[in-house]
Chains A and B, each alone.
Chain A
Amino acid sequence: MTTAEIREEIIDILENIAPDEDLGGLKDDVSFREQLSLDSMDFLDIVMELRKRWRVQVPEEDYQNLRSMTSTVTYLEPKMRDLKRA
């Protein structure tokens, strides 16, 4: 997956988690929490979805990397670059 594809995948997961949020104007460098009303259970859901969809593991000590879109994609890139979207 390219970084653009990883980003799309995250957007898709966020759309499921926060169906009432408008993700069109999401700023990649600003934290999710400042732009969306996400709580810690929502972040856990992102982690569970990544595992379910792609078998990607995000251990608890790495959760801080999921702060913003940019930091999330940077963190996931080495874990996901060899995966192929269907």
Chain B
Amino acid sequence: MSKDFLAGCRDQYDVVIIGSGLAGLTAANTLAKAGHSVLLLEHHYQLGGMATWFKRQNGHIFDISLHGFPIGMIKSCRRYWTDEIAESIVQLRNIRFDNPMFSLTTTFNRDDFTRLLIEKFQVPGERVTAFFDAARGMNFYDDQQMSTGQLFEKFFPGREDVIRLLMEPITYANGSTLEDPAISYGIVFSNFMSKGVFTFEGGTDRLVTLMKAEMLKNGVDLRIRSEVQKIHTERGKVTGVTVNGRRIGARAVISNANLKSTIFNLVGAEAFDKTFVEQAQTVRLNNSSTQVYIALKPGEIIDESCGDLLFCSTAPVFRTDLLLNRDITSRTYSFYYPRTRPGSDRCLVVSSTNANYSDWANLSEPEYEASKQDLIETTIAALEKYVPDVRIKIDHVEASTPKTFEHYTRHLYGASFGTKFEGLGVSRALPEQIKGLYHAGSVGIIMSGWLGAVNYGVIVANDVDSLLLKSSGSAPAVEAVAS
């Protein structure tokens, strides 16, 4: 008989959370700390969602999405997780660009970008200041008509090199394009520019282990290998879920699954207003990714002058759609030195590219394997420009594709960064459609990435906490006065 991953589960919780991405984990922890009973259900055997890792022979550990996040993560981790987690966040100082237009190394913050733009790109200082101020001043309630491309055109007309410097990293960070609203660029760019790029010392496995311990301490009921098949609603109200064939009741359900699968697969279109369904249908998914994971033999070292992050491209011009092309010309390398996991002697490289699901989905098994092999070969060949002897130092190499991401996270079309901008409005409107039903997870570019996901988890936890208080009916403030 197969193991019952729900053994000991109660029949009813205040909140059921579907999915253990950073948004799901943070919502679970916040609500448990607020005193609610919380059940967290994850279909995979590991917590973390895209914030994940895998182990291979000889003790290699690969991180999937630990390439860098903004400094805001320190504050969010301190506030919503623990001091220990917050204090493990360290800066990555060497961010490199290498393409036919320019090669440079930067700390990727406002001061250094200002210096580069003035000295290397010959942009007038006032123009640079005005651009940074405009990007930083953007907020959610602003005009959403201006596109990122128009923003650049306003400040740096005709300067494709400047646009490449400012845009390429953000396109990698969240899949945004020049056609997306300027605010979705401005907010994410400014977050990074405030202090640079940060990482988690000890790796994703350590982060998720620490988060798990904190959730258990706060009383979250955590279940892996538990796939939710259905979210149940009755007369406009959420009543619970079916997971691994078992029905569990809840006063509120937060789905950390993809927004569109939540609406169309887990709940079902029939439970919503017609206009809402139409709106949800028009929400575009973000692109997917491919990655190549390269581990060097134990003790083999890559020189730190390679940098921490390297945005490299052989494309003569920068076009966001070219970044998705199966004929890869642009890659982002993350170089992981032994300091990533203090005490380790390993150097690893992860090469990432943005990718279209459709380029991988319809291949026959042999074609798929051949395409993967080609991806590995071309990546190693491209890497040789920066690490000339890398081929003889490699101990293990493998690749992932949009199909891999789809398989592990259940995201439609393996979407790496959730949905495009319009997804945020639909995500926020869910509880107006069905009382007690919420979505927290990568949407709208802003609420994406590690920091966006953590913060969106808190925002939704706040909504749920408020709902549970309202519907609990207990006398207000009595407890507060007594405590």
Contact in complex: A83, B480 (CB < 8 Å):
yes
Contact residues, A12-46 vs B (CB, 8 A): 17, 39-41, 44-45
In the complex, whether A48 has a CB less than 8 A from a CB of chain B is yes
Contact in complex: B462, A55 (CB < 8 Å): no
| Beta-carbon contact of B481 and A48 below 8 Å | no
Q: Are B481 and A57 in contact (CB under 8 A)?
A: no
A86 pairs with B483, CB closer than 8 A: yes
Chain A residues touching B, majority SS: helix
The reply to whether A57 and B466 form a contact with Cβ atoms under 8 Å apart is yes
- Known contacts A41-B458, A44-B459; is-contact A57 B470 (Cβ 8 Å): yes
Q: Find out whether the CB atom of B462 lies under 8 angstroms from the CB atom of A44.
A: yes
What is the CA–CA distance of A86 and B466 in the complex, to the nearest angstrom? 23
* A47 and B470 in contact, given A52-B34, A54-B477, A84-B481 (Cβ under 8 angstroms): no
Asked whether B465 lies within 8 Å of A55 as measured between CB atoms, the reply is no
CB distance from A54 to the nearest CB of B (A): 5
How many residues on B have C-beta within 8 angstroms of the other chain's C-beta atoms? 22
CB of B317 within 8 A of chain A?
Answer: no
Say if the beta carbon of B473 comes within 8 Å of chain A. Answer: no
Chain B residue contacts of A44, Cβ below 8 A: 458-459, 462
How far does the alpha carbon of A82 sit from the alpha carbon of B139 in the complex, in Å?
36
Interface size grouping (class) on chain A: 10 to 19
CB 8 Å contact bits of B137-178 with A (1 = contact, 0 = none) = 001100000000000000000000000000000000000000
Kindly provide the distance from the CB of A76 to the nearest chain B CB, expressed in whole angstroms: 13
Of chain A, the residue at the smallest CB distance from B472 is A55
* B76 CB contacts on chain A under 8 angstroms: 41
Chain A proximity of B161: nearest CB distance (Å): 32
Residue numbers in B under 8 Å from A83 (CB-CB)? 477, 480-481
- A48 contacts which chain B residues (CB < 8 A)? 34, 462, 465
In B81-133, the 8 Å CB interface with A consists of none
* Mask of B206-246 contacts with A, CB within 8 angstroms, 1/0: 00000000000000000000000000000000000000000
Is the Cβ of B465 less than 8 Å from the Cβ of A51? yes
- Give, as a whole number of angstroms, the nearest-CB distance from B8 to chain A: 29
- Chain B residue nearest to A52 (CB atoms) is B34
B79-A51 in contact (CB<8A): no
Q: Is B469's CB within 8 Å of the partner chain A?
A: yes
Contacts of A52 in B (CB 8 A): 34
Kindly report which residue of chain B lies nearest to residue A45, judged by CB atoms. B79
Residue numbers in B under 8 Å from A55 (CB-CB): 469, 476-477, 479-480
Distance in Å from the Cβ of B82 to the closest Cβ of chain A?
15
Interface 0/1 of B321-332, CB less than 8 Å to A: 000000000000
Q: Which residues of A contact B (CB under 8 A)?
A: 17, 39-41, 44-45, 47-48, 51-55, 57, 59, 82-84, 86
- Chain A to chain B contacts (Cβ below 8 Å), 11 pairs: A39-B72, A41-B76, A41-B455, A44-B462, A47-B462, A48-B34, A48-B465, A51-B469, A55-B480, A59-B466, A86-B483
Top 5 nearest A-B pairs by Cβ distance? A55-B476, A54-B480, A55-B477, A83-B477, A48-B462
